[in-house]
Amino acid sequence: MSRSKKSIKNSCYALVKQIIVLLLNFLVKTIFIRTLGKEYLGINGLFNNLFLLFSFAEFGLGSSMIYSFYEPLAKEDYKKCSGLYHYYQKMYLIMSGVVLLMGIVLIPFLPYFIEEGVQIQQSKIVIYFLLYILSACINNIFSYKANIMTADQNQYLVSKAQLILEIFCYIGQGITLLVFKSFFIYLLFVLFKVMILGIWYSSDISKYYQYLKQEARLEKKEKETIFNNTITLFQLKFSKTLIHSSDNVIISLLVGTIAVGYYSNYEFVIVGVQGIIAVLFSAVAASVGNFIVEQNEKEQYRIYEIISLLNHWISCWTSICLLLLFQDFIVLWAGKSYQLNFTIVILLVIIYYLRVRRESISVFREAAGIFTEIKNITMIAASMNLLLSLLLGKWFGMEGVFFATIVSVLTTYFWYEPFIVYKKVFQQSFSLFIKQQLIELVHIGIIYGITWLFTSKISQVTIGTFIIKCMICVIVPNCIFLLFIYRKKQFQTLIQILKEGFSLL
């Protein structure tokens, strides 16, 4: 099966999984708001961010492992694959132990993250936190099994397992909330899910990768290379996770835990959309990794332009939809009392755009194994974000926290990451990237302005008017965008790839 067809297959499985999970998550979160209320919503939002900090892409092991497997899988060097597999297995166990220890150490400090007015017993909060940490550890322990399937362009196996277990988990959580109104049992379902998922991964590995059972060891030099890459990725992943997953913690400290609950509703929508986009690009990452091993810089840049065009289209359209639909959606879903001001919405959408627009460049950077070159800039971004968030958050509240994130991202790795990739991977002038970004900003401005002219005529907030706005946001931006790009050769190639790929389904 060709790379493009494998990418389409993986993307379709991942996309279907993400959409179904998003809808189920939306249903369960609605029940959560109605049954447990704002305080538990705030605690859940805070702990979700702490969960991400404790499972931040497995301390960088995930990307390091996937990158390490590209070459031996392409060359069918199964002995090398087996050696890598068992070496990473040990590293994942060590990493999970570190996560558990960090979680236990943090327990005495939990009261400092939660405002005094919250009417939930401290003993219960500790139990809830321990369940989160335990789930994070188990999730990390088995992640290496999913990584080899991803590197081998068989991510659809991972998506299938995750989808089935997510469905059972969300159904169980929904029933639990309706019948028992228990946050404890709600969290137990997450723990059971990650345990069963680990067993499922093990079964798939035994079935499809029997050669991994053979004993094989890596040379000392290979272990040192992997260890150095992992340390570098640790810095990268931790820095980026600190930037994007620390906001809830800072808001809880400076504004209040209930404010975290308000923000978590917006975050839920953004993460859901972001997740759909992420699976599309992660599904093609393995194909890009194999492509880079075999093709020259000119071909690599040609493929990048196609993927970047798709990235631009998706990020532009979804950002406009969020700006124009967010407030109405929150009112209809959770109620007007859960609505944040529009200034915060604008800041959140800018953060969202800066993150998703980088997907195409990040895919090529990771596939090319470029980690060391950007570790320092991400550490600078994380430090800047933390300092500015605390400072501006104290002065301006939530708006200050989010503005700090925008400043720290724009002034650091948003431009530096593509600078390195254009120079080292594509061997192209960075001015091409700058020019393209300016053109894209013009596109966004024009498309948003025209779409707003249509939606601004609708002032009422009802289900009917929301559906009409959704239809406008689907039709108008995409029609205008097509006028901008339909003559581009990258667009024609993209359409051809999609046609070939969908013949699989």
User: Can you tell me whether residue 276 is helix, strand or coil?
Assistant: helix
**Alpha-carbon span 328 to 330, nearest angstrom:** 6
Residue 312 · residue 365 · CB < 8 Å: no
Tell me which of 419 and 297 has the higher pLDDT. 419
Q: What digits encode the pLDDT tens for the residues 195-253? A: 999 999 999 999 989 888 887 888 888 888 888 877 777 777 778 777 777 788 898 88
* pLDDT value of residue 126: 92
Question: Is the per-residue pLDDT at 293 higher than 70?
Answer: no
Residue 475 CB: number of other CB atoms within 10 A? Answer: 12
Q: Residue 57, Cα to own-chain centre: how many angstroms?
A: 10
* Amino acid type, 299: E
**H helix intervals, 114-246:** 122-151, 155-179, 183-208, 220-245
**Alpha-carbon span 26 to 6, nearest angstrom:** 30
Number of H helices, E strands in the chain: 19, 0
**Alpha-carbon span 474 to 477, nearest angstrom:** 6
What DSSP string runs through 106-134? HGGGHHHHS-TT--S-HHHHHHHHHHHHH
Q: What digits encode the pLDDT tens for the residues 382-418? A: 999 999 999 999 999 999 999 999 999 999 989 999 9
Question: Is the per-residue pLDDT at 338 higher than 80?
Answer: yes
Q: Domain segments of the chain: what residues?
A: 3-502
Supply the mean pLDDT for the chain: 87
**Alpha-carbon span 112 to 454, nearest angstrom:** 47
Tell me which of 55 and 450 has the higher pLDDT. 450
